[in-house]
Amino acid sequence: MAPWPPQSTDPPGPPRHGAWLTTLRGDGVEALSGLGLGWFGVDLQHGSLDARDLPDLVRAADLTSTPVLVRVASHDAAVIGRCLDAGAAGVIVPSVHSAAEATALVGAVRMPPVGQRSSGTARTAHASAAGRPAAILLPMIESAEGLAAVHDIAAVPGIDGLFIGPYDLTLAMGLPPTTDPAGIAARATVVAAARSRGLLAGAFAGDPALLETFPPLDLVAVDTDLGMLRQGAQVRLDHARRSAAAVRE
């Protein structure tokens, strides 16, 4: 597996493909770990997971040294700190509208003298002792305000990249999520802002047709766990029905 964290390059290398977890617990993560995923995203904003699930999810992902990024539910510094204390490799923070908000997030993620996050004797302390890299911070651009301020957000010292929430972004712009040229241009603007500062660029996809409209990315959340479950079940059911039809013939 490629080193973590990924490095933004010009041109960017192959993306690290990840699974977006909304309901799976540790045993489900273990089942997915053999697929060669580059990271797991744990969604604490939507879905049925909460911060109490994180330690077991991180331990399961650790079996294959797969990093876990957490999409937190808010900008609350205490919540962010607890997620990082649980061993997350970084946080994806929703609805970042301005450079001022991004600056506050740097304070929540970084320890002094850069930020205000306190240290403790949680899992993260053992990870630091083992030489794991510092947590990465990815503000999400998913609003018209965030898009307008994207270059200012990218210029904030201490962030590691920009993560696109394409569905909320196009919803805020009054556009369909996949095909509208203005939506495609908006996503390209976010990636260009990240590249201009040497930052990572990532996004949630879900729909393969949407993924095809992105410029090259460093981190791609391919689909949710439930989306993968539905698709896998559909493939197996279709195969079983074709087999049954062939036997009847």
Per-residue pLDDT, 125: 52
| Average pLDDT along the chain, 249 residues, taken 10 residues at a time | 78 89 93 90 95 94 94 97 95 98 97 88 53 87 97 98 96 86 95 96 92 93 93 89 81
Fold classification of 16-248 is TIM Barrel (3.20.20)
Alpha carbon distance 194, 5 (integer Å): 16
What residues are labeled active site? 46
Per-domain residue ranges of the chain: 16-248
Per-residue pLDDT, 129: 42
Q: Are 6 and 219 in contact (CB under 8 A)?
A: yes
Per residue, the 3-state secondary structure of the chain, as one string, reads: CCCCCCCCCCCCCCCEEEEEECCCCHHHHHHHHCCCCCEEEEECCCCCCCHHHHHHHHHHHHCCCCCEEEECCCCCHHHHHHHHHCCCCEEEECCCCCHHHHHHHHHHHCCCCCCCCCCCCCHHHHHHHCCCCCCEEEEEECCHHHHHCHHHHHCCCCCCEEEECHHHHHHHCCCCCCCCHHHHHHHHHHHHHHHHCCCEEEEECCCHHHHCCCCCCCEEEEEEHHHHHHHHHHHHHHHHHHHHHHHHC
